[in-house]
Amino acid sequence: MFRPIRKQPPAKSFRLPEIRSAVTNVAKAFGLIWGAHPLSTTGMAVVTLLRAALPAAQAWAAKLIVDGVVDAIGRRSSNDFWMALQPVLPYLALEFALVTAGAVLNQSRSLLEHILHARLSHTINTAIIRKSLALDLHFFENAEYYDKLENARREADYRALSILNDGFMFVQNAITLTSFIALLLAFSPFLALLLLGATIPLFIAQSRFSELRFRLLTWRAPEARRMMYLERLLTNSESAKEVKLFGLGEPLLKRYHDLFWKFYAEDTTLARRRSAISVGFGVLTSLSYYLAYAWIVFRTVIGAISLGSMTLYLTVFRQSQSTFQGMLSGLNNLYESALFMSNLYSFLGLEPQMKLAEAPLRVPRPIVRGIEFRNVSFKYPGRSDWALRNVSLTIGPGEKLALVGANGAGKTTFIKLLTRLYDPTEGQILLDGVDLREYDLDDLRRRIGVIFQDFVRYMMTAGENIGFGQIEALEDRPRIEQAAAKGGADEVIAGLPQGYETMLGAWFERGRELSGGQWQKIALGRAFMRDAEVLVLDEPTSALDAQREYEIFQRFRQLTDGRIAILISHRFSTVRMADRIAVLENGELIELGTHRELLERDGVYARLFNMQAEGYR
């Protein structure tokens, strides 16, 4: 369905900041290109300089050939016609050599461009991924981050390569044009002025449309992401069952179509305006060429210049105008690509908000005093409500603590703060009496093993899925097998055709899809793989059957012996095994004690426990 075009983003009347930014981005882009592959970049520069000298040399060779032929024609009365023609042959050889050199240079340029494109794409994608890895979690929970990522990834490598091509082509055309203008000035300064003046209006108009296109594509990044999401939703195995059973296919496809037609209307309107302006100024350019053509022919007819000179000037003027037009068009493309590169540099300029200690400490081994939450409060960035408020509690060495509460009570936020995915807005979290912010962040996270409720299902081998829990031990098969046994994944892997080498998931060839419970056992194995002082299990058995859950938690203390263990679960048959239970409500710690103590208190925990127990009677 076609939708009316929306109002365009407002155009800026003052372009100097954008021009300054574009110039800066071009310099940065060439630095990026040089870093991707210095040898190919140098080769491109050399080829550019050599190609720049060819057109004028070829035009001069053509003049020499024509004048030589005319002179030979004038000697027809001579009996030795071959002798009259012989002076032209060196010029033919010269032109052949120039044409051959041009072909070799063109192929060399194509090869170098291919190499650079591959290296440059890898360099840019790696830079984007590294930046993503360095950013705090709150960026990934913010839609603005994904808009910036979408703008950075879209056409980044293409635009960088375009800057390379257009930049070198601009230099090549500038050198070629300089040689052409030198020849034209000797013939007629007026023609040189006509050459330049007729092409500039088209350049100005094209650069204006480049700005409009840049603003349009940047402005609609959220909708472009929505369109990509709908495409993924309609083609991905994770959503295929619901899409089919709920009949969502056509309604969602209609939304996809609506976005397409909206983009189509915007792009087509801009393209029509650009084409109309280009045709108008193109006619002006062509008219200037034929005026010059008529003048050169007139000068030849009256004998002011030779036929060879006419050939030279016609060739030079035609190529000068196309070269100048190409130079301005390349400059316009360079400007447009530089505008788009600002999206990449804006993304790469993002900085983590989490402050790191200047002299970070190593995490103590073993933990002696435990973990303390001291008046901890937290708000998510951009939110006004508190996710946690004035939470204070201590978890002793080797203690097992269970967190319970309704969805949204703050349980997962508690874990995010403990693992320093976020820092408290107020208060402190201490490990052996030292603020978590004083420890080395990577070392801290290595000492904490976590399985979240929304754990990742890696489309890789079963062994890798478990071994990722301690990446340094990925090749340690006995350790992987022990971790799998602790989480109950050993029996799952035993039934796979290639055992630990079986590819999991349906994304790749010969991949084996698992049930939700089987995936959860794999994730549990991954958590037990980590050599951690603290083990965090967020709904670790939600997809397991009752018997398997009972077996795992009968061994719970054995599996977590000597470690601090924090357990989040809605099943009170599970949490009662913990040493103490913390009850959270609306981000506040309202009850803390053993299972028996909380039942005797007859508060929120007791009410929730009795409600759940009643459901089993």
CATH code of the domain containing 499: 3.40.50.300
CB 418 within 8 A of CB 535: no
Mean pLDDT of 180-200: 66
CB atoms within 10 A of CB 287: 12
Can you tell me the distance from the alpha carbon of 68 to that of 78, in angstroms, rounded to the nearest whole number?
15
pTM greater than 0.75 (yes/no): no
Confidence of residue 349 (pLDDT cuts 50, 70, 90): confident
**Residues ≥6 apart with Cβ < 8 Å to 15:** 211
Residue 41, domain member (yes or no): yes
Residue 362, domain member (yes or no): no
Domain identity same for 541 and 516: no
Q: At residue 173, does pLDDT exceed 80?
A: no
CB atoms within 10 A of CB 165: 20
Q: DSSP 3-state assignment of 457? A: coil
Which has the minimum average pLDDT: 144-153, 161-170, 214-223, 496-505?
214-223
Task: Please give the C-alpha separations between residue 570 and each of 33, 399, 411, 516, 603, in angstroms, as whole numbers.
Answer: 54, 20, 11, 18, 17
* Long-range contacts from 147-152, C-beta under 8 angstroms, 24+ separation: 147/221, 147/222, 147/225, 148/343, 148/346, 148/347, 148/350, 149/347, 150/221, 150/224, 150/225, 150/228, 151/217, 151/218, 151/221, 151/343, 151/346, 151/347, 152/128, 152/343, 152/344, 152/346, 152/347, 152/348
Tallying the residues shown for the chain, one arrives at 617
Domain identity same for 408 and 306: no
Q: At residue 386, does pLDDT exceed 50?
A: yes
Tokens of 21: 């930014």
Residue 598, domain member (yes or no): no
Tokens of 127: 């830079």
Domain identity same for 273 and 203: yes
CB 470 within 8 A of CB 482: no
pLDDT of residue 128: 84
Give percent above pLDDT 70 in the chain.
Answer: 76
Domain identity same for 405 and 544: yes
pLDDT of residue 373: 93
Confidence of residue 196 (pLDDT cuts 50, 70, 90): low
Residue 409, domain member (yes or no): yes
Name the more confident of 82 and 411. Answer: 411
Domain identity same for 135 and 262: yes
Q: At residue 2, does pLDDT exceed 50?
A: no
**Residues ≥6 apart with Cβ < 8 Å to 227:** 256, 259, 260, 263
Query: What is the radius of gyration, based on Cα positions, of the chain?
Result: 36
Read off φ and ψ for residue 537, nearest 5 degrees. -120, 110
Closest by Cα among 564, 503, 565, 514 to 544: 514
* Long-range contacts from 33-42, C-beta under 8 angstroms, 24+ separation: 33/116, 33/120, 33/160, 33/163, 33/164, 35/123, 36/116, 36/119, 36/120, 36/122, 36/123, 37/115, 37/116, 37/119, 37/120, 40/112, 40/115, 40/116, 40/119, 41/116, 41/164
Domain identity same for 511 and 542: no
- Helix segments in 188-248, DSSP class H: 189-197, 200-219, 221-235, 237-245
Domain identity same for 390 and 475: no
Mean pLDDT of 273-297: 68
Read off φ and ψ for residue 403, nearest 5 degrees. -110, 125
Q: Would you put residue 319 in left (φ > 0), alpha (ψ -120 to 50) or beta? A: alpha
Which has the minimum average pLDDT: 61-70, 75-84, 112-121, 328-337?
75-84
Mean pLDDT of 274-298: 68
Can you tell me the distance from the alpha carbon of 246 to that of 263, in angstroms, rounded to the nearest whole number?
28
Please state the domain count of the chain.
Answer: 3
Mean pLDDT estimate for the chain: 77
pLDDT of residue 394: 92
Q: What is the CATH number of the domain that holds 309?
A: 1.20.1560.10
Read off φ and ψ for residue 520, nearest 5 degrees. -65, -35
CB atoms within 10 A of CB 596: 9
Domain identity same for 418 and 561: yes
Residue 207, domain member (yes or no): yes
Residue 601, domain member (yes or no): no
Give percent above pLDDT 90 in the chain.
Answer: 6
Residue 283, domain member (yes or no): yes
DSSP designation for 439: B
Residue 553, domain member (yes or no): yes
Confidence of residue 6 (pLDDT cuts 50, 70, 90): very low
DSSP, residue by residue, 25-88: HHHHHHHHHHHH-HHHHHHHHHHHHHHHHHHHHHHHHHHHHHHHHHHHHTTTTSS-HHHHHGGG
Can you tell me the distance from the alpha carbon of 503 to that of 147, in angstroms, rounded to the nearest whole number?
33
Tokens of 64: 């020499």
Domain identity same for 302 and 395: no
Can you tell me the distance from the alpha carbon of 154 to that of 223, in angstroms, rounded to the nearest whole number?
14
Domain identity same for 436 and 305: no
Can you tell me the distance from the alpha carbon of 345 to that of 25, in angstroms, rounded to the nearest whole number?
8
What pLDDT, in 10s, does the model give residues 324-343?
667 767 777 777 777 777 77
pLDDT of residue 378: 93
Name the more confident of 90 and 72. Answer: 90
* Domain residue limits at 468: 455-531
Can you tell me the distance from the alpha carbon of 315 to that of 310, in angstroms, rounded to the nearest whole number?
8
Can you tell me the distance from the alpha carbon of 348 to that of 222, in angstroms, rounded to the nearest whole number?
19
Domain identity same for 429 and 343: no
What pLDDT, in 10s, does the model give residues 24-38?
878 888 888 888 888
Domain identity same for 424 and 303: no
Q: DSSP 3-state assignment of 105? A: helix
